[in-house]
Each structure stands twice: as C-alpha cells, then as structure tokens.
A = this chain, B = another copy of it.
C-alpha cells in the first residue's frame, strides 16, 4: 500500500507542477492584456466543482485541498507580478532602505512615567545616552513624537503576565508612527522600604496595578496589608520615600531604590520566575536598521471559517515563523476581526517584501508597523 501511495504522490506532484505552469501562463497573458488576474468567483466555482466530484466522503477535504492549491498559485503569481503590486508600500520601504538610517546613540526620547520606571530602563537600553522626556500618559508620548518635540518614543507593547498593551496598538494606528526597534526587558520587581523596616510590621503596600497583580501570591499570603494603586511603580516608590513610614513598602524596580534612596527588602518578588515586558521604540519616519529581523503587521480579516487559515498559509508557504498572533474583536462589527501578527523576517528579502505588498493590496485594512531588531 505504501508503494501505491508513493505512485499516487509522484503523479500528484507532476499534475501540481503542470497546473502551476498553466496558471502562470494565464496570469502572464492577463497581465499583458490588462485583465484582472484574480477571480474570487472562479475560485468559488472550482471549489464547488471539486467538492461535488469528490463526493460526500471526501468533499470537504477536496475543498480544503483546492483552496490550498489556489493559495499556493496566488503566492507564486504574486511573486511573478510583484512589480505591479503594492506600489505605495514598496516605495515607502524602498525609501527607508535607501536612506540607510539607523538609531543614533544620542536622541530626544519620550517615555511614559517618571525616572526609575521600567520604560526608563528600556529607553536607556535602546539609546546609550538619551535626552529623556517623561510623559504622563501613553498618548503624550505619541504626541511628543508626532509634534517633533522628541525624535523617538519608547513604550511597552507586551508583557509576559498581562499580554498585549492594546492601547499602544490603538495609538500606533491613530498616530501612524512606525516601530524601529524593540527590547525585551526582564522585569524583576523588588519590595522597597524606607530604611530598615520590619517586614512583619508592614501595613500598607503601594504599586501600579500590574505590579500588584504580578506579586499577587505575596498579597494573598498577607491579607492584612492595605493595597494602594498608583499610576506607575516609580511613583509608588517615590511616595514611600517621601512619606518615610516604617510600615509602608512599594513594589518597584531596583533602580527606584537607588533613585529614591529606598532599601531593597526583597528581590524577584513576582509570582512568575521570568517576567518580562517588551518595549518598542517608535519614530515618525520608517527606519529599517541593518540586521532588522522582526516584522509587525496589523490587519483585518472577515470572520468566516478558513480566512485566517488561508492567510497563514501564505506565511507557511515561505517558511516564515510567526512569533505572535492575536485576534481582537472590532467594537463596531461582529463580522470582522483585527489581527496583530509578528514574524521573523526581513523586507530586504524579496519574497517577504512581495508578500507584504500583495497583502496590502488584497486586504481591506493592512498596516505594516515596522521591520526592526527585536
């Protein structure tokens, strides 16, 4: 039976290649004669016909098979016709690559929070000597970059405990900034006290809500503690330093202990051993540094069986490794989903660039958020 399967397979490969050749000739002809290349209606008819032919038993499977065959065809045709498609994105990426821009060592950088916040640390990791502006809210960071007051903005985009920072994704869309670098910062929460506090006598604890959530095991073991939510961990540390109470503690970074003169009563205080936050650096103009190896996209898909599968097949067909995939319901519709994709790749590789340019033309909403070192 294995011999029979091998025989069938070699025949299948032969037919597959012949079909690809023929489809390519059709696409070439159409393109030369100014005819539209892709026909959703024709695709639907092919699926119907082959499903009927395969009968009740294998009808669904045959439908899936031919959808895949046509997806692979399109993937080849996109490469073949790529010169014509996605001109706007192609030009934008071409200009960025041509400029050869990289991030400077010194720049005016906006980040959210106060000195000692985790954003502060991330900004220092990305820029050896940044000229920092601290903003009150996420949106202020976007505004600072858009207005030109700052050159770059550093914000959290994802945390291993709390997931995506969806507000930053929303603002990226609204402000049309692009991602030019990312940095994965290990988050090691410390318990900070003013002077030599007896931990048994603590009565009040101060931190950001996420910091408190990430240290929930300690809080559950100490239900007598009053919990106070602050806008960020560094502000909580500053408050504990200012009030100087021997019964108050903050959950914040070790850097905050140094900045505000607090004592580190405990390190690695969070529930999960390895907790991290990924920060992005944003710029007004698209910057694609040499060695950029990560691509972020945002796009919408119709809420129908198989639409995501067909999209992912395009990435799989080029052996591109997805590192993040997230659906978000769109508030105003039940019929479409917003997706965030991250994958490993570089627009310096032509098949990758061609894929992105094709998607930009095909999808109702498609945003290339950046190609950066991550």
Binding site for B on A (CB under 8 A): 1-2, 4-6, 8-13, 15-20, 22-23, 25-26, 29, 46, 49-50, 53-55, 57-58, 60-62, 64-69, 72, 75-76, 137, 139, 158, 160-164, 166-167, 170, 209, 213, 216, 219-220, 227, 229-231, 272-276, 303-306, 308-309, 312-313, 315-332, 337
Contact = CB atoms under 8 A, between A and B. Distances in A.
A143 to B, nearest CB: 9
A17 to B, nearest CB: 5
Given A49-B9, A331-B274, A4 B22 contact: yes
A182 to B, nearest CB: 13
24 contacts: A1-B22, A1-B26, A9-B49, A12-B65, A16-B54, A17-B57, A20-B57, A61-B75, A64-B72, A64-B316, A137-B220, A160-B330, A160-B331, A161-B167, A161-B331, A162-B167, A163-B166, A163-B328, A167-B213, A275-B331, A305-B320, A308-B312, A312-B312, A324-B327
A273 B9 contact: no
A19 B5 contact: yes
B50 A9 contact: yes
Contacts of A67: 316
A316 B309 contact: yes
A11 B12 CA distance: 9
Contacts of A276: 329, 331
Contacts of A1: 22, 25-26, 29
Contacts of A325: 308, 325-327
Task: Report the copy number of this chain in the oligomer.
Answer: 2
B306 A272 contact: no
Nearest to A230: B229
Given A1-B29, A9-B66, A163-B326, 18 more contacts: A1-B22, A5-B19, A9-B19, A12-B65, A13-B53, A13-B62, A16-B54, A16-B65, A17-B62, A64-B317, A161-B167, A162-B167, A273-B331, A276-B329, A303-B321, A308-B322, A324-B327, A326-B326
A54 B305 contact: no
Contacts of A321: 303-305
Contacts of A57: 17, 20
Nearest to A46: B9
Contact of A53 (B10, B50, B58, B61): B10
B316 A20 contact: no
A12 B15 contact: yes
Contacts of A160: 328-331
B308 A60 contact: no
A363 B72 CA distance: 27
Nearest to A159: B166
Given A60-B318, A60-B319, A303-B321, A8 B13 contact: no
A75 B166 CA distance: 36
Given A69-B65, A209-B209, A308-B325, A60 B303 contact: no
Nearest to A169: B163
